[in-house]
Amino acid sequence: MKAEYINPFLESAKIVIEQVVQIRPATGELGLKDIKFVENYIWIQIGLNGQMNGDIVFGLSEEVAMKMVSAMMGGYVISEIDEIVKSAISELGNMISGNASTMLFNQGVRVDITPPKVIQSAQSAGFTAQKALTIPLIMDGIGELDIQVLIAS
């Protein structure tokens, strides 16, 4: 697993979040950690195919998801995880991954991304817990969004 694979996703996430959530996220500590599926969490899984194969998984608590979508919708109060929230979070993942795949292409790495899949439970994940290269993005007043890279070597 190469650390440089996470950089385009990190840079893209910072740009997209700043554009749609109106907050410049700070970068947390890069690390290798076990993926654990916990309750009250949402993951956006995006598959990578081509010169990179694996998954990018964006993980955030339901509370952070609601705050992000509220900010995306101009402050409209969100009180539950409904289809609108899932759709908005999914689109956020899609925008981040689309930008990142363009950045990778510009670095000479050809990769296709799959449409985002919103996961709310370990049973629906379709893959087992494993280690991932992880970096948190800290959004002031909102919380953290974890970017987790699961690359098949």
- Other CB atoms within a 10 A radius of the CB of residue 142 amount to 21
pLDDT level of residue 151 (50, 70, 90 thresholds): low
pLDDT level of residue 129 (50, 70, 90 thresholds): low
> What's the pLDDT score for residue 36?
66
Residue 122 in this model has a pLDDT that exceeds 70: no
Domain residues for 110?
3-25+32-151
Distance CA 108, CA 104 (A): 6
Distance CA 84, CA 91 (A): 10
Q: Classify 66 in phi/psi space as left (phi over 0), alpha (psi -120 to 50) or beta.
A: alpha
> What's the pLDDT score for residue 1?
47
What total number of domains does the chain contain? Answer: 1
Amino acid at position 37, single letter: F
Task: For 45-93, write each residue's pLDDT tens digit.
Answer: 888 899 888 888 888 899 999 999 999 999 999 999 999 999 999 999 9
Sign of the C-alpha dihedral computed for residues 139, 57, 81 and 87 taken in this order: positive
> What's the pLDDT score for residue 33?
76
pLDDT level of residue 31 (50, 70, 90 thresholds): confident
Structure-model confidence comparison of residues 90 and 3, the more confident one: 90
Distance CA 78, CA 46 (A): 25
CATH of the domain at 7: 3.40.1550.10
